[in-house]
């Protein structure tokens, strides 16, 4: 068995820069592990913090050369674009409100962008960014990391192959409990910016995690959202943004859906789940047990399809590193986004067409995500009226 | 260990009649087992079918005396009320649209009524029936059987004792898949009347099972529904009633909820679930594993409370027959409603006050259930506008 | 849907007596519910306790006529055999050491015996009883109740139809934790007699629950035990009998097995499980989720077969009362033994052949069970030497 | 949150060599990912295959410099020991029978060894290797990778802190199904060497995975095995080694255990499980859901302790990279062994004492593992007699 993630047939590593992700940042460290897992990226430059001292300390801790530690992402974009061996791609892992400006600097210099979600903190920014990305020759990869799970690829593939028949009902949930108390007032940085409209945008929970659930449902089903009715709630007193979200959805073609997203649901750690029911079968998946996909063909017993096990097809196999029963998790799923990005970047580097089976969330998925958040906020302000995203 | 359900300290069995529930009826047979399980009822009379031949055949098969097999519930009510040793209580297990008329005949003669849900097929009927029941000296017990599960009693008790703090979010689901195809056109009686507005009322799936989920949420949380927004769908072509229901709810006091009910969700057999999250803790329960209640106190590990196990209190213990680990199921939960009814009926028989801890769904719960269905239908017709139930 | 357990086509109820099972007895009450559930038995006589006062009080509480409350099982056997309308069958639910003597009195008078397990407290008694039962025209039904679960019937049927291929490995477990502390010294009657060699026999945990696990494995696989090696342990100080049992087994034909049984395994309520692996597939079942049977055909995804669901066959359907997703439990499984007994008794009553598909544990299964316990004790005394049961 | 696995405070990467692990090898690729995950090792040299051509091709695919691709591990040891910047540590990932010779070459030159399990293919080799390792100043790390799972660290810590009381019963299992058919005759290399006594040693399944289960039980409980009785079986015709193993164990201090290991248990992918019961509580863990540890304190409800969740202590937190609910898996657990090794190696490099809380399986654990396999084989040959390992 040749396992993915080994470096076999490896081309030169992709030179990667990072914006954000200094000391104490959570998602920056995740991106670095994800980039490293399959040995296809090498982190060589960073604008890791907007404060000079922290940027430098963080850069050194990561072993960056001094002259490739920047305190401004703009400076980094300009110089890296000029020097020989400058970065080929940049990971943007700042709070949401900075994504747009940072991405712009790199895109316009032809440097590929791997950007954390949500795409931007406002819909106009998202659309402008999409336009930029499409004019640019550079790739834009959005790390809706949950689309990297092998069983999500399997699910998507099953939908496409018609194994569920015509989709009728979509149930998407993303429940957490870590904001059940006002942690943002206890100095926890993760909580602070996520509950601050200046940095997160108009959506709190809906933007932070609701958008993941929406993206996952879209990714798997391929359905287009036509309209939604959303009720956003804030349960923790004094919180400026929503911490619980109820959404009803209507998709083109007649499918209907519900989405629940919460950060005050005590007993839920990271309970992203997706259930899709069609005229010929149903599937159920939960992020906390990502190696399992439950599939019930109409009128038959429920089946457990496992990553790399019997019943899992090529779409899952491509995203899998170790045999069935050896659980892969969050980091491997995240790394799969990087692995797909690497295949695309290397094709570009070699002047080749990007292979057809390379799949990653794009800037257009990002626009759809921000539009979803925007629509939820608009709908909720109008007493959950149906709105078009 | 003295187990509940043994006949210890048994007063004379309650003489029971039944309306509906002839040969081939599902729920009538369930009521008979439930009544028999704890040996407190004796079935002595029946108007088991509206067709004479079937009523007689069914009655004989059940061992009823010939002169207590009726072909009209009205005749049964009149005669049983007159004869010595006539029935003390009647179980009404007809399709929904007949509940009102049947119940009326018995209530006005002081015969206790144990009636299947939903209370009636229309809201005006429900209200009239409630008025009748309240004027009558007789008891009215609605078999929202899922409230009979011990761990549901435990959950309700925990909410009342404040273990969840202030309720914030309620997630109720009831998903099945048996109507994913048009069984009503293949001659299946169960499917026929449930999808027929004449016999079921204006709600299909919402009335058949959505109302169970709503009742369960109300029973456990004690919350009052203030308004709802519902989107009802019919996925199977040619079906006259809804087979999938999405509802958003707002409760008095600020709690919010969602309810999903479906009969086309392939892979779900009888997936009634309830999740309740409060400021101090969360609970999760699933009907298909009814002996388990998951409880997470904020900031502590999730705990598994089991029926008759450590952590289960008096409210659950009273409803439990066998030790922990010996699973009780649907029939035992259903029988608990009959056991509670028996305690009330015997108190009445003896001229005593009904004990405080006797709990069963009442005619008022039935009105609330029909009002819920009515509100869902109204809301859905108005594009999911918020309506008051 | 005509559900089993309704009284349709009901012949006259079988007149049942009971030996043991007075106030405070656990298993007696279970037998009464089991007998009642399907309305085919009527309890009319009892020798419920060996102390006169308790026998009478218990009998009255159960509504027995005064002249059918006995203080001696022998008196009961003699008189019930003589009177018109005397009992047709007797349930023996005493501690183990009395099974033999009680059963003998009824068998020799042609009264059918339904006896709790283990058959007797010694192997010679078991063999004598088997001889008696076989001479007698009466039926002998042993309530190894777990064989009554529908999915166990399904599993047995799958083995017989060859869906597992040739059986290779059998893993049987029965773990509890209620004797993790010396409850027998705190006055709990259930604990007292189970840990007393005079009343239980030479096996403690192995006789109380190990024998259930062994019986279940035998029932499902049909394998004959050739030899075993057992290590019995007593962890609670001062306890006279084993409270934890490890067994290795070799079956005729080459299959191998392990059996673990414990009453000190904290965190296990009633964890009877069976896993069987053959050359073509494997099955897994757990008593605490009895409606589910996991089946993996070699090289295919695991499937969940549910009671009354897709994939469950006739063997399970016959033992099932309510639709899939409406959980049945311990009492229903127990009642299935009574239901099978009823079919056999009524065939006998009518002078008919017992139908081929009537299946219940017999006196020979009882002998096998006692021989298993005896062999475990012998082996353990010889340092876990291999012995023949 | 500063996550582990980021490169913060990173000393220079440890220069790593590898023996074995060429193209198509499974475990070599796993070691490389594990070494890379936390960015503390850099693979710089390799003797990746014993065939020249494959060694070179594999080395180039991994990006090794030509002069650090070796075709003999002895050459590699000699030269790397001499050159400046030679490897500091070597990962040995060959089939079992070569571990001893390879390790010897590096140990005697003071190069740290990270060796796959089992330690060797014979017990004498294991003892000699242990002696060598102890004379050497170099570290010896055995990749019993399952000890790297955070919840296994948590379990071990709970045992040490007395939360389970005195250990009574240990149940260890490791069941797979991939050898249910004779894959070794279909050209699958993984199957070939594992079923070949020349390369695996005298144990098949028991050496390949039984030894993992034994190691895990020892690691968590700290118990010393006094004697065992083992029954080894070969179900697939023509196979030279065991494919199913039953073991009873007696530990110093009175605890008892069972161990089942199988590679023919259809429906099991990689079902390594451990259950430990003591006088005060019980724990249960399954490798396929490694982020969960079930803990039942005697007389209290079962609790779910999750990695990085409430209830998980420092021992788990140190081994954890991402927040609760973001599943970590097999590769992360494996990487934790490398991370612990890195801490020890860097302490050595700096002339410091290895921190007390650095924990990894050592050569002595390896000897214990091989002695376990040896004892199982001996016992089984003597009809499962009790033997001392």
Q: Is A263 in contact with A272 (CB distance < 8 Å)?
A: no
Residues of C in contact with B6 (CB under 8 A): 28-29, 32-33, 62
Q: Is B36 in contact with B30 (CB distance < 8 Å)?
A: no
Q: Does C288 touch chain D (CB under 8 A)?
A: no
Among the partner residues C248, C265, C295, nearest to D282 by beta-carbon distance: C265
The model carries a pTM of: 0.96
Inter-chain contact A1–D24, Cβ cutoff 8 Å?
yes
- Mean pLDDT of chain A, nearest integer: 94
Q: Which helix (H) or strand (E) holds B175?
A: strand B167-175
Average pLDDT of span B53-61: 93
Inter-chain contact A26–D3, Cβ cutoff 8 Å?
yes
Among the partner residues D256, D267, D384, nearest to C296 by beta-carbon distance: D267
Residue in chain A lying closest to B235 (CA): A168
Q: Where are the domains of chain D?
A: 14-145+339-361, 149-321+367-381
Q: Which helix (H) or strand (E) holds A25?
A: none
Q: Does D100 touch chain A (CB under 8 A)?
A: no
Average pLDDT of span A22-33: 90
Q: What are the tokens at C240?
A: 């006279």
Residue in chain A lying closest to B167 (CA): A235
- The terminus-to-terminus CA distance of chain D in angstroms comes to 46
Inter-chain contact C303–A303, Cβ cutoff 8 Å?
yes
Residues of B in contact with A386 (CB under 8 A): 383-384
Inter-chain contact A63–D7, Cβ cutoff 8 Å?
yes
Among the partner residues B300, B302, B310, nearest to D299 by beta-carbon distance: B310
With 60 as the cut, is the pLDDT of residue B336 above it?
yes
In sequence order, what are the residues at sequence separation of 6 or more whose Cβ sits closer than 8 angstroms to the Cβ of residue C334? C30, C31, C33, C34, C143, C145, C148
Inter-chain contact B322–C331, Cβ cutoff 8 Å?
yes
Per-residue pLDDT of chain D (389 residues), as tens digits, is 343 444 445 688 999 999 999 987 889 999 999 999 999 999 999 999 989 999 999 999 999 999 999 999 999 999 999 999 999 999 999 988 899 999 999 999 999 999 999 999 899 999 999 999 999 999 999 999 999 999 999 999 999 999 999 999 999 999 999 999 999 988 888 888 888 888 878 899 999 999 999 999 999 999 999 999 999 999 999 999 999 999 999 999 999 999 999 999 999 999 999 999 999 999 999 999 999 999 999 999 999 999 999 999 999 999 999 999 999 999 999 999 999 999 999 999 999 999 999 999 999 999 999 999 999 999 999 999 999 99
Residue A4 confidence (pLDDT): 44
With 80 as the cut, is the pLDDT of residue C366 above it?
yes
Q: Does B165 touch chain C (CB under 8 A)?
A: no
Q: What are phi and psi of A303, to 5 degrees?
A: -120, 145
What is the distance in angstroms between the Cα of D221 and the nearest Cα belonging to chain C? 15
Inter-chain contact A62–D325, Cβ cutoff 8 Å?
no
Among A336, A335, A304, which Cα is nearest to A319's? A336
Residue C7 confidence (pLDDT): 44
Residues of B in contact with D305 (CB under 8 A): 301
Residues of B in contact with D311 (CB under 8 A): 300-301
- Preceding peptide of A118 cis, ω within 30°: yes
Residues of D in contact with A286 (CB under 8 A): none
pLDDT in tens, B40-50: 999 999 999 98
Inter-chain contact D300–B310, Cβ cutoff 8 Å?
yes
How confident is residue B10, by pLDDT bands cut at 50, 70 and 90? low
Inter-chain contact C180–D298, Cβ cutoff 8 Å?
yes
Among the partner residues B32, B268, B323, nearest to C6 by beta-carbon distance: B32
pLDDT in tens, A64-106: 999 999 999 999 999 999 999 999 999 999 988 899 999 999 9
Q: Does C306 touch chain A (CB under 8 A)?
A: yes
What is the distance in angstroms between the Cα of C337 and the nearest Cα belonging to chain A? 27
Q: What are phi and psi of D227, to 5 degrees?
A: -155, 160
Which residues 15-34 of D have a C-beta within 8 angstroms of A?
Answer: 23-24, 26, 28-30, 32-33
Choose, out of B294, B298, B301, B307, the residue to mutate when testing the contact with D (most D CBs < 10 Å).
Answer: B301
Torsion sign, CA atoms C371, C375, C381, C382: positive
Torsion sign, CA atoms A68, A72, A75, A80: positive
pLDDT in tens, C118-157: 999 899 999 999 999 999 999 999 999 999 999 999 999 9
Residues of B in contact with D302 (CB under 8 A): 303-304, 306
* CATH 3.40.50.720, applies to B14-145+339-361: yes
The backbone region for D195, taken as left when phi is positive above 0, alpha when psi lies in -120 to 50, beta otherwise, is: alpha
d(CA C105, CA C129): 11
Q: Does B287 touch chain C (CB under 8 A)?
A: yes
Residues of B in contact with A301 (CB under 8 A): none
Residue in chain C lying closest to A293 (CA): C301
What is the distance in angstroms between the Cα of C201 and the nearest Cα belonging to chain D? 23
Which residues 39-98 of B have a C-beta within 8 angstroms of C?
Answer: 39, 58, 61-63
Residue in chain B lying closest to C328 (CA): B329
pLDDT in tens, B147-202: 999 999 999 999 999 999 999 999 999 999 999 999 998 888 888 888 888 887 88
Residue in chain B lying closest to C8 (CA): B61
Residue A195 confidence (pLDDT): 85
With 60 as the cut, is the pLDDT of residue C3 above it?
no
Q: Which helix (H) or strand (E) holds D200?
A: helix D197-200
Inter-chain contact B231–A231, Cβ cutoff 8 Å?
no
- The terminus-to-terminus CA distance of chain A in angstroms comes to 46
Q: Does D382 touch chain B (CB under 8 A)?
A: no
Inter-chain contact B301–D302, Cβ cutoff 8 Å?
no
> How many angstroms from the chain centroid is the CA of residue C212?
7
Residues of B in contact with C35 (CB under 8 A): none
d(CA A269, CA C140): 54
What is the distance in angstroms between the Cα of B150 and the nearest Cα belonging to chain D? 16
d(CA C333, CA C345): 19
CATH, domain B149-321+367-381, list 3.40.190.80, 3.30.465.10, 3.30.360.10, 3.40.50.2300: 3.30.360.10
Among the partner residues D268, D271, D289, nearest to A289 by beta-carbon distance: D289
Residues of B in contact with C57 (CB under 8 A): none
With 60 as the cut, is the pLDDT of residue A62 above it?
yes
HEC-encoded secondary structure of D13-46: CEEEEEECCCCCCHHHHHHHHHHHHCCCEEEEEE
> How many angstroms from the chain centroid is the CA of residue D22?
20
Residues of A in contact with B275 (CB under 8 A): 265
What is the distance in angstroms between the Cα of D102 and the nearest Cα belonging to chain C? 37
Secondary structure letter of residue D355 according to DSSP: P
- Preceding peptide of C118 cis, ω within 30°: yes
Residues of A in contact with C307 (CB under 8 A): none
In sequence order, what are the residues at sequence separation of 6 or more whose Cβ sits closer than 8 angstroms to the Cβ of residue C38? B33, C4, C5, C7, C335, C338, C339, C342
- Mean pLDDT of chain C, nearest integer: 94
Residues of C in contact with D186 (CB under 8 A): none
Inter-chain contact A231–B256, Cβ cutoff 8 Å?
yes
Residue D3 confidence (pLDDT): 39
pLDDT in tens, A289-338: 999 999 999 999 999 999 999 999 999 999 999 999 999 999 999 999 99
Q: Is B329 in contact with B290 (CB distance < 8 Å)?
A: yes
Inter-chain contact D298–C266, Cβ cutoff 8 Å?
yes
Among C202, C127, C145, C104, which Cα is nearest to C366's? C127
- Report strand pairing: B271-278 vs B167-175: antiparallel
For residue B31, give the 3-state DSSP assignment: helix
Q: Is A259 in contact with A213 (CB distance < 8 Å)?
A: yes
Q: What are the tokens at D67?
A: 């002069």
With 60 as the cut, is the pLDDT of residue B8 above it?
no
Beta bridge partners of D295: D283, D303
- List, as one string, the DSSP characters of A225-274: EEEEEEEEE--STT-SS-SEEEEEEEETTS-EEEEEEES--TT-SSEEEE
pLDDT in tens, C40-97: 999 999 999 989 999 999 999 999 999 999 999 999 999 999 999 999 999 999 988 8
Residue C26 confidence (pLDDT): 85
């Amino acid at each position: 068995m040749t396992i993915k993630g080994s470096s076999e047939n490896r081309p030169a590593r992709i030179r990667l820069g990072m914006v954000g992700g200094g000391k104490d940042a959570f998602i920056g460290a995740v991106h670095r592990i994800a980039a490293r897992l399959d040995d296809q990226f090498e982190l060589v430059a960073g604008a890791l913090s907007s404060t000079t001292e922290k940027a430098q300390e963080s850069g050194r801790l990561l072993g960056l050369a001094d002259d490739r530690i920047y305190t401004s992402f703009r400076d980094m974009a300009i110089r890296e674009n000029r020097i020989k061996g400058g970065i080929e791609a940049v990971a943007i892992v700042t709070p949401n409100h900075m994504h747009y400006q940072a991405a712009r600097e790199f895109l316009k210099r032809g440097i590929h962008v791997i950007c954390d979600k949500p795409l931007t903190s406002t819909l106009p920014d998202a659309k402008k960014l999409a336009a930029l990305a499409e004019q640019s020759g550079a790739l834009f990869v959005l790390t809706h990391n949950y689309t990297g799970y092998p069983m999500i690829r399997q699910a998507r593939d099953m939908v496409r192959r018609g194994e569920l028949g015509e989709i009728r009902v979509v149930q998407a949930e993303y429940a957490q409990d870590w904001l059940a108390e006002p942690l943002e007032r206890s100095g926890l940085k993760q909580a602070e910016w996520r509950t601050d409209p200046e940095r997160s945008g108009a959506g709190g929970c809906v933007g932070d995690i609701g958008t993941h659930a929406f993206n996952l449902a879209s990714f798997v089903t391929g359905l287009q959202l036509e309209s939604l009715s959303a009720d956003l709630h804030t349960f923790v007193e004094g919180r400026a943004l929503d911490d619980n979200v109820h959404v009803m959805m209507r998709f083109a073609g007649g499918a209907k859906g519900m989405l629940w997203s919460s950060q005050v649901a005590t007993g839920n750690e990271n309970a992203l789940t997706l259930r899709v029911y069609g005229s010929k079968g149903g599937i159920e998946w939960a992020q906390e047990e990502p190696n399992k996909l439950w599939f019930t063909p109409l009128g038959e017993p429920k089946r457990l399809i496992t990553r790399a096990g019997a019943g899992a097809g090529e779409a899952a196999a491509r995203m899998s590193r170790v045999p069935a029963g050896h659980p892969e998790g969050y980091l491997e799923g995240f790394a799969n986004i990087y692995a797909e990005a690497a295949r695309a970047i290397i094709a570009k580097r070699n002047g080749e067409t990007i292979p057809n089976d390379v799949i990653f969330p794009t800037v257009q998925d990002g626009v759809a995500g921000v539009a979803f958040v925007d629509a939820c906020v608009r709908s909720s302000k109008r007493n959950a009226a149906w709105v078009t995203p």
